[in-house]
């Protein structure tokens, strides 16, 4: 049986500080206009200049996928996972090396990728089907299923530029999964949408794989990767570190994560964002500034940052606590309380007090992000880790392995 995907000695180089050129007519116009504006407009005084040079996003990537296989791709932020999927989707070309795809490809890489914002949801379904090479009759056969899955019937004839990110993702996934491509490429689909939608996505991908179609799935959700994928690739700094059974690859990835949190934070390259505000250091404190954190007690997260802006920036601050191989457990996102905070130029210290989190003793990791006008300035997943020491919890000693603690009581009543 011939592999449905073959990747041989793939390399991808980017120029830091330069926009990449693409080959569509619309992108050519945008790039030309951007160059003209740069010549006419002076550089913004609000931020210091960035770096330039070559950056190899992928280096010597080779692998094969057989028809009907569900392969997971895991790795830290900036490892090259999304770049690889963009090359497989023909969105961007490789610098050198080759890929062979023996089947029609549908991809779900970013919210709204492949949508025309001025067209309605209905029109975008037919547009995407046409891009996949389907005839109108074939799209008609799947149309009702797509609309029902996406749960957008009320907004079907509304231009998608008015859709929320969740509506975009539901429709994009529904189209990609229902129009029956031989190869389905999915990048972080579980990052948008509620728990019910995420469950539907996983169920649909399992159904797709049982029909003999091939799925490449990129995610930071290890539960989803383990439940869906038979094999996996681990990518780090643009290279394949390991490939094989999903369980083995996840274990290796978690080992890297543990070592990664020991690195100097300001030197971490696996971060997302514009970088004009940068997270430099994270420390944890318990009661009375103690470095020992105890379960059932307040936790203080001290975050040192640097702002390159010359003006005060109003920022959204976000922090989540979780277990790396499971899921997020607790969110401390200022958006939840409707607050933005003034970030002055230069160095600042952010302090997040988490009031008596109901967590069991054990090891936890945090993700930290700073947003400016809904765009990430700096976002580091698994930025640091801490341990909670055992203690008596309220009125009982909790000895189980579950991460969340709660008070409870039983009652027995005879039914008459």
CA 352-77-88 angle, to 5 degrees, is: 150
Q: Give the domain extent around 283.
A: 267-389
- Judgement on whether residues 297 and 319 belong to the same structural domain of the protein: yes
- Judgement on whether residues 376 and 305 belong to the same structural domain of the protein: yes
State the distance between the two ends of the chain, measured CA to CA, in whole angstroms. Answer: 66
d(CA 242, CA 188) in angstroms, rounded, equals 20
Which range among 108-112, 125-129, 307-311 shows the weakest confidence by mean pLDDT? 108-112
Tell me, what's the pLDDT at 398? 46
- Judgement on whether residues 239 and 189 belong to the same structural domain of the protein: yes
Name the burial class of residue 141, with classes exposed (0-12), middle (13-18) and buried (19+) by CB atoms within 10 angstroms of its CB.
middle
Tell me, what's the pLDDT at 393? 46
- Judgement on whether residues 221 and 356 belong to the same structural domain of the protein: no
Residue 28 included in any domain: yes
- Judgement on whether residues 83 and 225 belong to the same structural domain of the protein: yes
Residue 400 included in any domain: no
Whether the Cβ atoms of residue 74 and residue 241 lie closer than 8 Å to each other = no
Query: How far apart, in Å, are the Cα atoms of 31 and each of 22, 118, 365?
Result: 9, 21, 40
- Judgement on whether residues 213 and 119 belong to the same structural domain of the protein: yes
Whether the Cβ atoms of residue 136 and residue 126 lie closer than 8 Å to each other = yes
Residue 368: strand pairing partners: 319, 380
d(CA 323, CA 297) in angstroms, rounded, equals 19
Question: Closest Cα partner for 73 from 214, 270, 229, 305?
Answer: 229
Which range among 68-72, 223-227, 388-392, 398-402 shows the weakest confidence by mean pLDDT? 398-402
Write the pLDDT tens digit of every residue in 319-352: 999 886 556 789 999 998 999 999 999 999 999 9
Question: Closest Cα partner for 78 from 353, 378, 388?
Answer: 378
Write the pLDDT tens digit of every residue in 348-380: 999 999 998 888 877 899 999 999 988 899 999
Tell me, what's the pLDDT at 370? 95
d(CA 139, CA 129) in angstroms, rounded, equals 6
Residue 412 included in any domain: no
Q: pLDDT at residue 256 above 60?
A: yes
Sequence-distant (≥ 6) Cβ neighbours of residue 224 within 8 angstroms: 190, 198, 202, 217
Number of domains in the chain: 2
Q: Tell me the average pLDDT across 383-394.
A: 73
Percent of the chain with pLDDT over 90: 37
Q: pLDDT at residue 64 above 50?
A: yes
Residue 8: strand pairing partners: 98
Write the pLDDT tens digit of every residue in 161-216: 898 877 888 888 888 778 778 898 888 765 555 667 777 888 888 888 888 889 99
Residue 248: strand pairing partners: none
Residue 404 included in any domain: no
The dihedral built from the CA positions of residue 113, 114, 115 and 116, taken in this order, carries a sign that is: positive
- Judgement on whether residues 298 and 345 belong to the same structural domain of the protein: yes
d(CA 15, CA 150) in angstroms, rounded, equals 38
Q: List the CATH number of the domain containing 131.
A: 3.40.50.300
């Amino acid at each position: 049986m011939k592999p449905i995907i073959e990747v041989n000695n793939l390399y991808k180089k980017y120029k830091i500080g330069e926009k990449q050129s693409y080959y569509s007519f619309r992108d050519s116009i945008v790039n030309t206009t951007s160059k003209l504006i740069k010549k006419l407009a002076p550089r913004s005084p609000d931020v210091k200049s960035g770096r330039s040079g070559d950056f190899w996003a992928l280096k010597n990537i080779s692998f094969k996928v057989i028809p009907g296989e569900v392969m997971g791709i895991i790795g830290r932020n900036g490892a090259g996972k999304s770049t690889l999927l963009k090359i497989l989707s023909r969105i961007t070309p490789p610098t050198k090396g080759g890929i062979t795809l023996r089947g029609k490809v549908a991809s779900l890489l970013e919210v709204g990728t492949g949508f025309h914002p001025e067209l309605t949801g209905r029109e975008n379904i037919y547009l995407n089907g046409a891009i996949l090479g389907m005839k109108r009759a074939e799209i008609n056969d799947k149309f009702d299923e797509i609309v029902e899955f996406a749960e957008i019937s009320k907004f079907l004839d509304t231009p998608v530029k008015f859709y929320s990110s969740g509506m975009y993702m539901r429709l994009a996934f529904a189209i990609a999964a229902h129009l029956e491509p031989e190869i389905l490429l999915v990048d972080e689909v579980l990052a948008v949408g509620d728990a019910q939608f995420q469950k539907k996505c996983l169920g649909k991908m399992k159904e797709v794989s049982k029909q003999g179609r091939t799925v490449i799935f990129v995610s930071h959700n290890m539960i989803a990767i383990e439940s869906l994928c038979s094999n996996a690739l681990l990518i780090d700094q643009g290279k394949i570190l390991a490939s094989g059974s999903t369980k083995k690859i996840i274990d290796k990835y978690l080992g890297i994560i543990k070592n990664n949190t020991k690195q100097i934070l300001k030197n971490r390259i696996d971060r997302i964002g514009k970088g004009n505000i940068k997270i430099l250091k994270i420390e944890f404190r318990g009661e009375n500034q103690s470095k020992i954190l105890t379960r059932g007690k307040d936790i203080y997260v001290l975050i040192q940052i640097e702002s390159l802006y010359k003006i005060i920036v109003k920022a959204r601050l976000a922090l989540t606590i979780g277990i790396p191989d499971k899921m997020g457990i607790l969110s401390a996102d200022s958006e939840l309380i409707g607050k933005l905070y003034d970030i002055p130029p230069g160095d600042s210290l952010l302090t997040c007090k988490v009031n008596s989190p109901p967590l069991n003793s054990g090891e936890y990791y945090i993700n930290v992000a700073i947003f400016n006008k809904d765009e990430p300035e700096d976002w580091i997943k698994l930025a640091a880790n801490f341990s909670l020491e055992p203690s008596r919890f309220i009125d009982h000693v909790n000895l189980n392995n579950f991460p969340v603690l709660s008070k409870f009581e039983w009652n027995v009543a005879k039914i008459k």
